[in-house]
Amino acid sequence: MRFDIITCLPRLLDSPFSHSILKRAIDKGLTEVHVHDLRDYSPSKHRQTDDYPYGGGAGMVMMIEPIHRIISKLKEERPYDAVVYMTPDGLTLNQKMANSYSLLKNIIILCGHYKGVDERVREKYITHEVSIGDYVLSGGELAAAVFADAIIRLIPGVLSDETSALTDSFQDDLLSPPVYTRPAEFIGMKVPEVLLSGHEKNIELWRMEQALERTKSRRPDLYDKQHVAKPNIS
């Protein structure tokens, strides 16, 4: 799976893809992440990519021409399944969306900045608009990194234990149960007995009960979506 990320601040994206799971995914050839500096596609000698808004008002607006140039160039090189614009007024990202994006082959991600992007870019080039939550970031770069991370970890082979993405919180609309590691007791705080029992069936049952209980108390909206028979945990 290939990502082409378009940004005016390419260095902001150095770190997220240079460590841990995302780096390993790239090193193993399971994904490609290409970061493009939008300024390289500016027609002006000052590498300008934004301008004042028509009609006045505060903030700058990203211009269409540099974006047109880079997207047209990329599209001549290969077909894209999605051209995603990171924006707070997009569809709020959730696990199901990440699951569907993980099935695509080539994705362009455009990071917004300033007051946003000339509306004609959205009309002509953007196929999907994604927000990572109801708050405003300084730009789309961190949002793009979050979006790509949520997708890349789902690509088969990226996580060492393939089942672990399937047991993530939000797969099945359930939060994950609590986890523990050694020592079995620390300043009087004990790991639940069942986890030390070696009894797989009981452990699985305990985890399911805990997941349901957590979901019920922390995310009643998700809990209400559960179709399974719910134990009485009120």
* # binding residues, ligand ADE (CB under 6 A): 12
Q: Comparing C-alpha atoms, which of 170, 136, 141, 137 is closest to residue 153? A: 170
Task: Please state the closest distance from residue 72 (CB atom) to ligand ADE, in A.
Answer: 23
HEC-encoded secondary structure of 206-224: HHHHHHHHHHHHHCHHHHC
What residues from 77 to 136 belong to the interface with ligand ADE (CB under 6 A)?
86-88, 112, 131-133, 135-136
Nearer to ligand ADE, 86 or 175 (CB): 86
Nearer to ligand ADE, 141 or 213 (CB): 141
Task: Please state the closest distance from residue 135 (CB atom) to ligand ADE, in A.
Answer: 6
Which residue in 63, 74, 98, 143 binds ligand ADE (CB under 6 A)?
143
**Whether the Cβ atoms of residue 113 and residue 50 lie closer than 8 Å to each other:** yes
The residue written with tokens 């994604």 in the block is: 130
Q: How far apart are CA 195 and CA 181, in angstroms?
A: 10
Which residue in 16, 66, 140, 177 binds ligand ADE (CB under 6 A)?
140
**Whether the Cβ atoms of residue 18 and residue 45 lie closer than 8 Å to each other:** no
Nearer to ligand ADE, 63 or 144 (CB): 144
**Whether the Cβ atoms of residue 145 and residue 35 lie closer than 8 Å to each other:** no
HEC-encoded secondary structure of 64-102: HHHHHHHHHHHHHHCCCCEEEEEEEEEEECCHHHHHHHC
Q: Taking CB positions, which residue lies at the least distance from ligand ADE?
A: 143
Task: Please state the closest distance from residue 226 (CB atom) to ligand ADE, in A.
Answer: 28
Which residue in 64, 137, 194, 222 binds ligand ADE (CB under 6 A)?
137
Helix 141-152 vs helix 20-27: crossing angle, to nearest 10: 70
Nearer to ligand ADE, 33 or 86 (CB): 86
What residues from 33 to 62 belong to the interface with ligand ADE (CB under 6 A)?
none
Neighbour tally for 140: CB within 10 Å: 31
Task: Please state the closest distance from residue 197 (CB atom) to ligand ADE, in A.
Answer: 44
Task: Please state the closest distance from residue 115 (CB atom) to ligand ADE, in A.
Answer: 11
What residues from 148 to 177 belong to the interface with ligand ADE (CB under 6 A)?
none
Nearer to ligand ADE, 141 or 173 (CB): 141
Nearer to ligand ADE, 72 or 92 (CB): 92
Neighbour tally for 51: CB within 10 Å: 13
Q: Comparing C-alpha atoms, which of 141, 84, 134, 147 is closest to residue 114? A: 141
Binding region for ligand ADE (CB under 6 A): 86-88, 112, 131-133, 135-137, 140, 143
